Amino acid sequence: MIWQLDLVILTFVIFCGIGAITIKDLLGAAILFGAYSFMMSLLWAIMGAVDVSFTEASVGAGVSSILFVAAVFRTTRRTKD
Amino acid sequence: MAFPGWGDPLSPASTHVSPYYIENTIEDTSVPNIVTAVLADYRGYDTMFETAVIFSAGIACLFLLRRMKRKKTDFRHYRHMATGITLRIEQGGKIHPTAKEFERIDGLWVPHDLIIRTTGRFIIPFIQIFALYVIAHGHYSPGGGFQGGVILGASFILFAISNDLRSALNRMGERLTAFFYTAGVSLYAGTGALCILLGANFLDYSALATILLVDPVTARSYGILIVEIGVGIAVMAVMVILYYNLVSAGKFDEGL
Amino acid sequence: MVDLLTIIISKYNYWGYIVLMMVGLYAMIVKKNLVKKIIGMSIFQTAIIFFYVSIGMKKNATIPIISHGHDGGERAVHAVDFINPLPHVLMLTAIVVSVATLGVALALAIKVYRQYNSLEEDVIDSLIKEK
Amino acid sequence: MSRHFPALIIVIPLISAFFIFAAGGLKKTYCFYIAAAALAISLFSSIGLLLQVLQNKVVVYHFGGWAPPWGIAYRIDYLNGIVLVAVAAISFLNLVATKKSVEKDFTEKIGLFYTLYVLFVTGILGIVVTGDAFNLYVLLEIASLTGYALIGMGTEHAPLASLNYVFMGTIGASFYLLGIGYLYLATGSLNMLDIASILPNIFQSNVVLLAFVICLTGLFIKMALFPMHAWLPNAYTYSPSPAISLIAPLTTKVMVYVMIRFLLTVFTPSFSYGSMAVSTSFVWLAVIAIVVGSILALSQKSLKRMLSYIVIAEIGYMVGGVWLGNRAGLTGAILHIINDAAMTLCVFLVAGNILYRLSGDSFDNLKGLFRKMPFSMGAFVVGALSIIGVPPTGGFFSKWYLISGGIAAGHYGFVIALLFSSLVNVVLFFRIFEIAYFEPSDCPHISDRMDEEGKIFNDAPLGMLVPLMIVAVGLIVLGIFTDTIVTKVIQFAIPGEIS
């Protein structure tokens, strides 16, 4: 594995995570959470955890995001924080 | 003892239990993917409960959100397919079932985007085949029941998004989904119980050798495949039911 | 100073997991919006999964899938050549648990929204106090 | 078949869950009977297991035929043998006792309710019986997820309370998982006994200390010890009564069991009490929990909410008893897990009966209740006396052990807190007795039904009363047989090195 790549993606992960909880739009937050999960799965793939990475890519980035979007569709997009 | 360095091959985590798995998986189960072997055999009992967690989540979602009765004040929309005229029928009324030229539509109905629907129709079979490949090929490559099941579930969700929820429900109704996730988890627990009946411990797949007519090591490999299929079915159905529930807020009619 | 730097750099994954955990915990405690809290919860759980995957890492090792050689003959398998598979197995379970929790939490959030017509905790609190 | 008891005890309820779910869609009346049969088998196997333990000291079962530490093993010894019987008995009795109430509250979702019920019991039983630290986490999540769902279907603000419980519960479980991660990092194993055999060599390590602290934090959140108790009162108050009389007796007590298991088996006593200087501060934390729980209970105006604060105080009893670190304190704590589970079940069942007949459980509604529901209130008196600690109920004896443990350890703050809490409980319950016995009924909500003599008699149906009576009698029986339980079982559950 290449530690420079690892570090860059780790930074991305952290920024996506912070972005997901600060953005003032729940749909945007859901999408950023998807990006966060996807970056995370990349990170794990780099670390050799291929099965975990595969699961996170399908569960975290795929289905979780859809579930968030569905919940936001049924509630509201607006948020105060 | 200090905190082991990152990636240290001599840390206790890498030297105590896990070398056994790495060195003996092939002899014990003849499965090259060590993660699959540990997941479904050495620690198969955990995985059974993991499936049970998924099952509980599906049941919990149904229990919390599902609305069994329609309110009398609800209304339905019907669209005359030839002309595009929309009817709104109030107070729980229905259109006569023989009136085939009307289709029921959502309150937020918009004409279907042809591109999305066609792309969906085109891509869904490939996703499903890939999902089945992932389930079946979990012994040799990354993948297995969970990943494949989630992808299979995602293909149904994609169908529900690219068309509408009602047509997805026509293909894959609530009862069918419920059947699938009960069947999936029972397949897992049932395999385990079968091992007890055959005289071994719970989930000891080598006992299956007597009915599968193979040697115990191959029987373990087959046992892993069986439970992975069970997991795949259960996870697929639960993902679909979670989506149905959340997107229709428990009413199972209108959705994204 | 140099020592500190080496500690930080040699274990930067562990620092990353602590940062992510704090991000998740912060969202769960400080944010008022329920969906934001749920996102925080998911981030918190992934941070712990990240920690486990970091435990399993081994330098100069490959992914835990034993490949037969191209010549068809079986090679001897040495534990140092493969990444520790056990944390991966545990984390597969943890990911599934986290998506299950997510589903239940979102169902509850929808139920809350149905009841109070709001997802903001402070608005709901003031609604409860009014009654 | 008796060899497979450790598997059957968990697997039968799990498999029955699928049948109950299927029956919920086909014929709803079967759901209850399937659940009852499954839990009866569970109870039967747990009693069988306890007998095996009395004979052989320890019962081990390897899942998948793999020996630990590679596979998952269940290990039943004196400590979890007795807790197992208590849990199985309570879940079975509660199932029978709440049949009518479930039919009333969840007419359409009865199948789903019972499915969640048996899954919850599966999780709780698994937590008690497992010998694998990670397996415990998975089972904990099953119990929690089903618990969230059961609580979320309650009245008033139940969904919000349940969502807060989800957040706190997930933090707790995740901290536990993290602690297991650190233990794994230090030892490379997940099997509790295996960890215990490796740990003594590395007790000085910071990683072990960190694992210990993080695990305990997670468990404290899950068991609602005082500063982390915020999720409990609302969740318990608003939850549906048939669910809460299951969840309240089991969840928190089982977490106390897990804490004892970790202190005694995983981190051996010499580490937990010896090289750690935290014992005394945890006892003080428990003292604060007892005092604050009791005082907050005083200020409540409705029955279930008052009982929830009493639960918080009772957690303080057990945690304090465990951390006293002597034989009497631990005996008291283990005994109190069983007694407290039984008496919490008793009073919450009565609260359920009251809610079955009345529209609310605020103190105004309780007026004249002794005339209307004499049997339920009779059971309530037994439960209340047990919580106060009056002989010959079980509560007296466990409190007696706890107090003597406090005196032996020289920790008089704990002793005073226990006595103070008993005093507060006297005030709490006699206030209710006074309202229910002396004040005339003027509650308009009751569907009054005059019987032949013209008396207003409106107790819960017989199906709910009989199990309640069994529980009430059981409390007294537990008290009478305390000596047997302690000498036959509990004294062997505590390692010999603790004096």
pLDDT digits (tens, 9 = 90+) for C26-85: 998 898 889 999 999 999 999 999 999 888 888 888 888 887 644 445 567 777 788 888
Q: Between B33, B36, B247, which is nearest A74 by CB?
A: B247
Residue C90's nearest CA partner among D171, B134, B138, B39 is: B39
State how far the Cα of D46 lies from the Cα of D312, in Å rounded to an integer.
28
Q: For tokens 């599902």, what's the residue? A: B66
Contact B143 A51 (CB under 8 A): yes
Report pLDDT for D453: 44
CB count within 10 Å of CB D449 equals 10
Tokens of C115: 């009841």
User: For residue C104, what are the domain limits?
Assistant: 2-61+80-130
Q: Do D174 and C25 touch (CB under 8 A)?
A: no
Nearest-by-Cβ selection for D178 from C28, C48, C97: C48
User: Which residues have a Cβ under 8 Å from the Cβ of C111 and sit 6 or more positions away?
Assistant: B64, B65, D152, D159
C-alpha distance from B57 to closest chain C C-alpha (Å): 5
Domains contained in chain A, number: 1
Pick from D231, D216, D477, D458: nearest CA to D357: D458
Q: Tell whether B36 is within 8 A of chain A (Cβ).
A: yes
- Confirm whether A66 is domain-assigned: yes
Is the CB of A73 less than 8 angstroms away from the CB of B256? yes
Q: Say whether the D–A interface has 3 or more Cβ pairs within 8 Å.
A: no
- Res C108 pLDDT > 80: yes
Between chains, do D188 and B16 touch, taking CB under 8 Å as contact? yes
Give me the pLDDT at residue D432, please: 86
Q: Tell me the nearest-neighbour CA distance from D160 into chain C, angstroms.
A: 6
Q: Which of D1, D9, D21 to mutate to test the interface with B (most CBs of B within 10 A)?
A: D21
Q: Give dist(CA B148, CA D47) in Å, integer.
A: 41
CA distance B142 to chain D (A): 22
Please name the residues between 152 and 211 in chain B that touch chain A, using a CB distance below 8 Å. Answer: 153-154, 157, 161
Binary contact (B147, A70; C-beta < 8 A):
no
Residues in chain A: 81
Tokens 């630990």: give the residue. D68
B-chain residues near A48 (CB < 8 A): none
Residue C67 lies in a domain: no
> Which pLDDT value is given to residue B164?
80
Given an 8 Å threshold on Cβ–Cβ distance, is B239 in contact with A54? no
B50 with C97: Cβ contact below 8 A = yes
Residue D305 to residues C94, D238, D369, D437, Cα–Cα distance (Å): 34, 9, 18, 21
Q: What is the distance in angstroms between the Cα of B41 and the nearest Cα belonging to chain D?
A: 7
**D residues 38-77 lying closer than 8 A (beta carbon) to B:** 61-66, 69-72
Nearest to B147 among A54, A70, A71 (CB): A54
Among B14, B50, B53, B59, which would you mutate to test the D interface (most chain D Cβ atoms within 10 Å of its Cβ)?
B59
d(CA B87, CA B95): 10
Q: Do B13 and C65 touch (CB under 8 A)?
A: no
Contact call for C57 and A63, based on CB within 8 A: no
In this structure, are residues C39 and A33 in contact, taking their beta carbons and an 8 Å threshold?
yes
Give the gap in angstroms from C-alpha C27 to the nearest C-alpha of chain B.
23
D vs C contact (3+ beta-carbon pairs below 8 A): yes
Residue of chain B whose Cα is closest to the Cα of D67: B42
Running DSSP on this structure, what letter comes out for residue D270?
I
**Closest CA of chain A from B136, distance in Å:** 14
d(CA C51, CA D207): 14
pTM: 0.93
Partners of C45 on chain D (C-beta within 8 Å) are 170, 174
Q: Which residues of C touch B54 (CB under 8 A)?
A: 96, 99-100
In a domain, C75, yes or no: no
Option in A48, A59, A64 nearest C62 (CB): A48
Chain C contact set for D152 (CB, 8 A): 107-108, 111
Q: Is A46 on the interface with B (CB under 8 A)?
A: no
Rounded CA-CA distance B50/B40 in Å is 11
Nearest CB partner across the interface for D159, out of C25, C97, C108: C108
Do A29 and C106 lie within an 8 Å CB cutoff?
no
> Helix A65-74 to helix C34-56 angle, to the nearest 10 degrees?
170
Under an 8 A CB cutoff, do C48 and D149 touch?
no
Cα A38 to its chain centre, rounded Å, is: 5
What are A22-71's pLDDT values in tens digits?
998 999 999 999 999 999 999 888 888 888 999 999 998 889 999 999 89
- Residue D76 backbone phi and psi in degrees, to 5: -110, 120
Contact B6 C54 (CB under 8 A): yes
- Determine the structural domain holding residue A13 and report its residue range: 3-74
CA-nearest residue to B21 within chain D is D70
With tokens 């010959």, the residue in question is D392
Phi and psi, residue B80, nearest 5°:
-80, 120
Say if A52 falls within a structural domain: yes
- Respond yes or no on whether the N-terminal peptide bond of residue D374 is cis (omega within 30° of 0): no
Residue type, A72: V
Query: Per the CB < 8 Å rule, is C19 touching A14?
Result: yes
Look at residue D176 in the predicted model and tell me its pLDDT.
93
Q: Is C121 on the interface with A (CB under 8 A)?
A: no
Residue A79 lies in a domain: no
Check: complex ipTM more than 0.90? yes
pLDDT per residue, tens digit, chain B (256 aa), is: 567 777 777 788 888 888 888 888 888 888 888 888 888 888 888 888 999 999 999 999 988 888 876 666 667 777 777 777 777 777 766 777 777 777 777 766 666 678 888 998 999 999 999 999 999 888 888 888 889 999 999 999 999 888 888 888 888 888 898 899 889 989 988 888 888 888 888 888 888 888 888 888 888 888 889 889 999 999 999 999 999 988 888 787 777 7
Best of C9, C53, C99 to disrupt the B interface (most B CBs within 10 Å) is: C99
| Chain B: closest CA distance from residue C63 (Å) | 9
Q: Do B186 and D206 touch (CB under 8 A)?
A: no
What's the structural domain count of chain C? Answer: 1
pLDDT along chain D (499 residues), means of 10: 83 90 84 91 91 88 84 88 91 89 83 91 92 91 92 87 92 93 88 88 83 91 86 89 89 91 86 74 89 90 88 90 87 91 90 82 77 84 89 87 89 90 90 81 50 57 85 89 86 81
- DSSP-derived secondary structure letter, B39: I
Decide if D491 contacts D334 (C-beta within 8 A): no
Compute the nearest-CA separation of B246 from chain A (Å). Answer: 6
Residue A54 lies in a domain: yes
Total tally of structural domains belonging to chain D: 1
